[in-house]
Amino acid sequence: MNGVHDMGGMHGMGSIQPEENEPVFHHRWEARVFAVVRAMGAFGRWNIDASRHQRELIPAAEQLRMSYYERWLAGLSQLLVRHGFLSTQELATGKPVPGPMMLAPALPADKVPGFIAGGSPAARTSNSPPRFRPGQRVRARNLNPIGHTRLPRYVRGKAGMVDRVHGVFVFPDTNAHLRGESPQHVYSVRFEAQELWGDVAVPRDAVYVDLWEGYLDAL
Amino acid sequence: MTDIPHSREQDRDQGQDHDHGKQRLPSDPALRVMALESLLVQKGLVDPQALDALVEAYEHRIGPHNGAKVVARAWKDPAYKARLLTDATAAIAEMGFGGLQGEHMVAVENTPAVHNLVVCTLCSCYPYPVLGLPPVWYKSAGYRSRAVIDPRGVLREFGLELPAEMQVRVWDSTAELRYLVVPQPPPGTEHMSEEQLASLVTRDAMIGVALVRSPATGELP
């Protein structure tokens, strides 16, 4: 979706304010949101792409006003209702409605180290060879899907060169909507800074973007 | 134009409004999160001890000190550096790091001719196993929007003026690959041990918004 989350190259988005000796979390609630998101994700009812997309769906003005963990909280609340973990009433009142408990057991504390160490690999295998090879010229397609995509607006229609083939990975555009993993080859594509931004860019500078095969055309 | 507020500013504002010296009233999201956690616990969907363990892992165990060990070893051991640059996931696993949000890693090396900078313009992807959780500025709209269009301007704000002849490569983490910058070792540190070297490597240097300074002279590579 052409949302406000797709920020590459925008102006007027505020200053960058590094903080000396920044704590990992600024508030306890941020730590709890982080942990609840991870723990609920462990059920496997959704995936990282769905969870990103849920945050992208927060209305733009709210998205920009919210802090990072407020966006996580908002996205999580929506996912919990959508996937039947909570009813809207429960979410609003904070009180559980009596009814059948979900059978899936919660992530236990002793499984946390394994959960972190294992992660959730997105690489898959495929019998089809990569369509592009390193050094090949490609153009990012001018796609404007209404759903989730990881093709940033600032590279659409731009020409670049395949720098390396990363392998085969889950395709976010379908996975985010729980329409299957549809794995595809992913490439690191080098775009010359001037191809992206014109004369304001320094000639030798470049931006490397990881792009799925379906986002690219041969040049 | 005004800056987009984030939690730190909100915190300060609330500090002025509500902090009467002792107890600080929880902000609205704090109350909502407490209510949500309690609801999920009552429904048997989360184990509060698992939440504690998740928080503990990222507050105390997993952080930039991990990445610093990787970089220091790459500086000392050319064979390791070669493995790191070819298959970062495997080389980082050799050091015992990997997993959540670092399942697939790429290491990019700074040289006298090339400077690397990492961003995630679409969200805030960041290599947790080697750097921990991202700082607020990395997740900010300002950084995400500008790193790709004006990397040199962004670096200048971090106090880093790169020579015009150096090439800047920005890595936008749009897929499930997470990037680690291997900075150049500072001058005059060849005699130092891996452990000593690791203590010099900063988080910012591994994102690419800083260089590593010589501890003795403050010199940059």
pLDDT in tens, A162-180: 999 999 999 999 999 999 9
Residue A141 contacts B, CB cutoff 8 Å = no
Where in the sequence is the domain holding B39, given as residue range(s)?
Answer: 27-61
Q: Give the residue on B whose Cα is nearest the Cα of A204.
A: B167
- Whether B197 is covered by a domain: the verdict is yes
**Which amino acid is located at B167 in the chain?**
Q
Q: A133 to chain B nearest CA, in Å?
A: 17
Cβ atoms B163, B131 nearer than 8 A: no
**Hey, which residues does A127 pair with through a beta bridge?**
none
Same domain, B31 and B87: no
Look up residue B97 and give its DSSP letter: -
Question: What is the CATH class of A123-218?
Answer: mainly beta
Q: What is the ipTM of this complex?
A: 0.97
Same domain, B37 and B68: no
C-alpha–C-alpha distance, residues A155 and A140, integer Å: 6
Spell out which residues of chain B touch residue A102, defining contact as CB-CB under 8 Å. 43-45
Each of the 221 residues of chain B gets a pLDDT tens digit; together they read 344 444 443 443 333 333 333 333 345 899 999 999 999 999 999 999 999 999 999 999 999 999 999 999 999 999 999 999 999 999 999 999 999 999 999 999 999 999 999 999 999 999 999 999 999 999 999 999 999 999 999 999 999 999 999 999 999 999 999 999 999 999 999 999 999 999 999 999 999 999 999 999 999 99
C-alpha–C-alpha distance, residues B86 and B95, integer Å: 16
Q: B44 to chain A nearest CA, in Å?
A: 6
Same domain, B92 and B141: yes
Spell out which residues of chain B touch residue A112, defining contact as CB-CB under 8 Å. 50, 53-54, 57
- Whether B15 is covered by a domain: the verdict is no
Question: What is the CATH class of A28-118?
Answer: mainly alpha
C-alpha–C-alpha distance, residues B73 and B165, integer Å: 29
Chain A (46-85) residues lying within 8 Å, Cβ to Cβ, of chain B: 48, 52, 55, 64-65, 67-70, 73, 76-77, 80, 85
Same domain, B127 and B75: yes
Q: Which of A52, A112, A188 lies nearest to residue B54, judging by beta carbons? A: A112
- Whether B194 is covered by a domain: the verdict is yes
Residue A176 contacts B, CB cutoff 8 Å = no
Q: How many domains does chain B have?
A: 2
- Whether B17 is covered by a domain: the verdict is no
- Whether B12 is covered by a domain: the verdict is no
Spell out which residues of chain B touch residue A204, defining contact as CB-CB under 8 Å. 167
pLDDT, tens only, A16-72: 999 999 999 999 999 999 999 999 999 999 999 999 999 999 999 999 999 999 999
C-alpha–C-alpha distance, residues B121 and B140, integer Å: 10
Q: Output the DSSP codes for B105-118.
A: EEEEE--SSEEEEE
Residue B51 and residue A36: Cβ atoms within 8 Å?
yes
In the block, residue with structure tokens 């985010």:
A176
Residue B45 and residue A40: Cβ atoms within 8 Å?
yes
Residue A113 and residue B102: Cβ atoms within 8 Å?
no
